[in-house]
């Protein structure tokens, strides 16, 4: 039926938008709350090897300075926090750190609003490389770059409207690629470490992109730039034995579990995909971007960390169960 096909298309486009949850503008320090100072670790790490993170707001702890979730803050967790709470993984001790850090886990350098450039200039890369050199960190997870093609903070519009000509655009791609290569080499050369990197999502597939930037041919220009940079990332990774993770992995899991009403079947609960809200039955939070709620964070933890890390590095970490994720979200 035509209406059913249209609903499926709507659900798919929303799921594609979910893939972009990591892109976010910095939030004011005034938006922090007292709960941000409370560590969520409740167990001794079962995996003693340290795990370091470079990235932006998807990996920056929710229960640190961002204090996401509003009145549901105590049960609003990101993928790093879930892996500490439920699998005892070692992202370092919880504490308050000097810039470029804030509150959070010692080995998690991800920062809301970070870009590929600021990952280096702010000190994320240098700080994590030092921890590798000190043999505190044995695994590194890099998820960065969505803010470099953000729909709202400039870069996407510059490419879309041709403010960067072809030569200038290629120069920018080369610059970003060089910084990714620098980050990889700086950390790999610091010590014995295994690394994974997530490809950059194409924000042009999001429904919001089609509203803000209606010209499909111009959007394709941005898509091609993202694809070129991803190709460079994959080339660097292959040369260095770095694991490449597909940013579309989360969307594939979601699409396999969402029904025609836009509900995600999750154990005995139905999670809403089509609308945002801090109440944990929503997949995305009700903030300026729509960051992952706890349920979506659990899916991210399984599909972008546990599963690929187990396959590549034999870590034998059990997947988070639906029941565990729902319990953390306050739904069981």
Q: Where are the domains of the chain?
A: 2-328
Beta carbons of 124 and 86 less than 8 angstroms apart = no
The pLDDT value recorded for residue 247 is 86
| Other Cβ atoms closer than 10 A to 261 | 11
Residue 50: CA count within 13 A, CB half-sphere: 22
Q: Domain 2-328 is classified in which CATH homologous superfamily?
A: SGNH hydrolase (3.40.50.1110)
pTM: 0.88
Whole-number pLDDT of residue 263:
87
Among 319, 294, 318, residue whose Cα is nearest residue 79 = 294
User: What is the mean pLDDT, run by run of 10 residues, along the chain of 332 residues?
Assistant: 51 52 38 32 56 96 92 96 96 94 96 96 98 97 95 89 97 98 98 97 86 95 97 98 91 80 88 92 88 95 95 94 96 90
Per-residue burial over 84-109, b = 16 or more CB atoms within 10 Å of its CB, e = otherwise:
bbbbbbbbbebeebeebbbbbbbbbb
Neighbours of 59 (CB within 10 A): 26
């Amino acid at each position: 039926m035509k209406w059913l096909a249209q609903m499926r298309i709507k659900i798919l486009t929303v799921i594609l938008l979910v893939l972009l949850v990591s892109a976010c503008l910095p939030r004011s320090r005034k938006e922090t709350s007292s709960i941000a100072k409370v560590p969520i670790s409740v167990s001794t790490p079962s995996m003693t090897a340290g795990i370091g993170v470079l990235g932006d707001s998807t990996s920056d702890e929710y229960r640190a300075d961002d204090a996401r979730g509003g009145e549901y803050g105590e049960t609003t967790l990101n993928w790093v926090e879930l892996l500490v709470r439920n699998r005892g993984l070692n992202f370092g001790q919880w504490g308050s750190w000097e810039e470029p850090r804030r509150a959070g886990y010692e080995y998690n350098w991800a920062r809301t609003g970070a870009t590929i450039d600021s990952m280096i200039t702010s000190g994320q890369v240098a700080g994590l490389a030092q921890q590798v050199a000190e043999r505190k960190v044995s695994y590194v997870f890099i998820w960065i770059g969505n803010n470099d093609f953000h729909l709202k903070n400039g870069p996407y519009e510059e490419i879309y409207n041709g403010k960067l000509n072809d030569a200038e655009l290629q120069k920018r791609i080369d610059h970003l690629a060089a910084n990714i290569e620098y980050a990889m080499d700086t950390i790999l050369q610091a010590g014995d470490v295994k690394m994974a990197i997530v490809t950059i999502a194409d924000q042009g597939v999001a429904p919001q992109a089609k509203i803000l930037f209606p010209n499909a041919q111009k959007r394709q220009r941005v898509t091609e730039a993202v694809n070129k940079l991803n190709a460079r990332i994959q080339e660097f990774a292959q040369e260095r034995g770095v694991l490449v993770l597909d940013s579309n992995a989360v969307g594939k899991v979601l699409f396999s579990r969402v029904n025609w009403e836009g509900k995600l079947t999750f154990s005995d609960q139905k999670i809403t995909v089509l609308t945002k809200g801090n109440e944990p039955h929503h997949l995305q939070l009700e903030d300026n971007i729509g960051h992952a709620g706890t349920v979506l964070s659990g899916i991210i933890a399984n599909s972008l960390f546990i599963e690929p890390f187990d396959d590549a590095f034999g870590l034998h970490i059990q997947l988070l169960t639906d029941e565990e994720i729902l319990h953390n979200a306050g739904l069981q």
